[in-house]
Amino acid sequence: MKVVVTGAAGFIGSQLVERLLAEGHDVLGIDAFIDFYPRADKEQNLAGARGHASYRLVEGRLQDLALPSLLEGTSQVYHLAAQAGVRPSWGRDFEIYVDNNVLATQRLLEAAVTAGVPRFVYASSSSVYGDTPALPLREDGVCRPVSPYGVTKLGGEHLVHLYGTNHGLPVVSLRYFTVYGPRQRPDMAFHRFLKAARDGSEIHLYGDGRQTRDFTFVDDIVSATRAAADQGRPGRVYNVGGGDRVELNHVLDQVRAVTGRDPKIVREATQKGDMRDTLADTGAAREDLGFRSTVSLREGLAREWDWMRNRT
Ligand SMILES: NC(=O)c1ccc[n+]([C@@H]2O[C@H](COP(=O)([O-])OP(=O)(O)OC[C@H]3O[C@@H](n4cnc5c(N)ncnc54)[C@H](O)[C@@H]3O)[C@@H](O)[C@H]2O)c1
């Protein structure tokens, strides 16, 4: 197959590209190298795929590229490009989120319709839900995001659905729950915790640490994303989560156990836009995609720690 991956230089996208190449597909990656975190990190993410005979990387913004010709003859589009990050999405920078998460998605959907792409997978987020007392979060539950980022990811999801129903584009959306593992973005909690452990610096912890998250190891996210393209039901939305609700304070205990170090914790105020708790109901993904979480938090953290220790 010829497949297209947007956000191909990112944390998750680069690992999806490697999986697709290992399966023998021809992969066209697209990435704009937006400056949310250093380009050097993304160049390291690309190291495994660059130079592979079946890989081509196009640098540019989805909003600017001649997408219909790039998508010609493509069997599957994986749309992972986005401006990520909950906390910086307030204020003036909201414009960047609208541009990269809503407008870019609409441009790509138009091109996918023009090119007659038979399968389109969209990387959505648990952030679309917002705070709700009802856990686990189910795909048919209310979506009322508590961050501007979540609003743009939900906007993208609505667009995806719209192009599915109005133009017959076979679309599937996946709501990823807090992804971690090697190459995790530098703004994300585990990355910051493990880096602090490595460098002997302080960990800044937002809130009381009793907030909970359903953490998902990146390999499991990649597997679910591949399965969504091959066997997801068109028009469906699926939660993809690790299946456990873990307190941030417990994560810190695990960080101490895995690293053998005890970094100083500096407690900071809860940040606007952070959800209090998340836990995915993954019944639909289990049934339709054969999804199951295969990597425990302890094992996954150890793998991220290995990566953190060996990077420059
Ligand atoms: N990491 C998580 O925990 C998580 C959770 C839920 C959802 N997601 C979603 O998964 C996807 C991947 O996230 P990630 O953590 O790998 O982020 P990332 O920032 O590492 O990767 C995203 C990539 O998209 C590129 N990009 C952004 N806007 C673009 C544009 N307009 N045109 C072309 N390229 C553009 C960036 O340069 C970046 O390399 C995103 O859609 C994100 O919203 C991630």
User: Which segments of the chain are extended strands (E)?
Assistant: 2-6, 26-31, 55-59, 76-79, 120-125, 171-176, 179-180, 203-206, 212-213, 216-217, 237-240, 246-247, 265-268
User: 181-221: per-residue pLDDT in tens?
Assistant: 999 999 999 999 999 999 999 999 999 999 999 999 999 99
Confirm whether 78 is a catalytic residue.
Answer: no
Contact 246, 101 (CB under 8 A): no
Residues paired with 187 in a beta bridge = none
State the catalytic residue, choosing from 55, 97, 149, 163: 149
Whose CA is closest to 218, among 147, 307, 283?
307
Does any domain span residue 299?
no
Q: 89: Cβ below 6 Å to ligand 1?
A: no
Q: 175: Cβ below 6 Å to ligand 1?
A: no
- Residue 132 pLDDT: 86
What is the biggest distance separating any 2 CA atoms in the chain, rounded to whole angstroms?
55
- Residue 180 pLDDT: 98
Element of type H or E holding 307:
helix 297-310
Ligand 1 atom closest to the Cα of residue 183 is: 20
What is the chain's percent helix, strand, coil content, to nearest 5? 45, 20, 40
Q: 275: Cβ below 6 Å to ligand 1?
A: no
Ligand 1 atom closest to the Cα of residue 81 is: 24
Ligand 1 atom closest to the Cα of residue 127 is: 6
Does any domain span residue 118?
yes
Does any domain span residue 81?
yes
> What average pLDDT is seen over the chain?
97
Does any domain span residue 263?
no
- Residue 279 pLDDT: 96
Cα(100)–Cα(86) distance, integer angstroms: 14
Q: Strands 120-125, 216-217: parallel, antiparallel or unpaired by DSSP? A: unpaired
Looking at the structure of the chain, the number of domains it has is 1
Residue 312 pLDDT greater than 90, yes or no: no
Q: 11: Cβ below 6 Å to ligand 1?
A: yes
Distance 9 CA to ligand 1 centre (A): 9
Cα(140)–Cα(31) distance, integer angstroms: 32
Does any domain span residue 248?
no
Residues paired with 143 in a beta bridge = none
User: 298-311: per-residue pLDDT in tens?
Assistant: 999 999 999 999 98
- Residue 133 pLDDT: 82
Distance 64 CA to ligand 1 centre (A): 17
Does any domain span residue 140?
yes
Q: Whose CA is nearest to atom 26 of ligand 1?
A: 81
Contact 170, 119 (CB under 8 A): yes
Contact 75, 3 (CB under 8 A): yes
Contact 143, 130 (CB under 8 A): yes
Q: Whose CA is nearest to atom 15 of ligand 1?
A: 11
User: 110-151: per-residue pLDDT in tens?
Assistant: 999 999 999 999 999 999 999 988 899 999 999 999 999 999
Least confident of 37-46, 105-114, 303-312: 303-312
Cα(278)–Cα(268) distance, integer angstroms: 20
Ligand 1 atom closest to the Cα of residue 185 is: 20
User: 236-287: per-residue pLDDT in tens?
Assistant: 999 999 999 999 999 999 999 999 999 999 999 998 888 899 999 999 999 9
Distance 264 CA to ligand 1 centre (A): 30
Which structural domain range is residue 7 located in?
2-177+218-241+279-293
DSSP 137: B
Q: Which pLDDT band, with edges at 50, 70 and 90, does 226 fall under?
A: very high
- Residue 311 pLDDT: 86
Cα(286)–Cα(210) distance, integer angstroms: 28
- Residue 31 pLDDT: 98
Q: 31: Cβ below 6 Å to ligand 1?
A: yes
Q: 80: Cβ below 6 Å to ligand 1?
A: yes
Q: 115: Cβ below 6 Å to ligand 1?
A: no
Q: Whose CA is nearest to atom 32 of ligand 1?
A: 61
- Which residue's structure tokens are 């993208």? 156
Whose CA is closest to 31, among 64, 69, 72?
64
Distance 80 CA to ligand 1 centre (A): 5
Cα(240)–Cα(124) distance, integer angstroms: 10
Does any domain span residue 119?
yes
Does any domain span residue 62?
yes
Question: Residue 62: which CATH number?
Answer: 3.40.50.720
The DSSP line for 211-260 is: -EE--EEHHHHHHHHHHHHHHPPTT-EEEE--S--EEHHHHHHHHHHHHS
Ligand 1 atom closest to the Cα of residue 180 is: 3
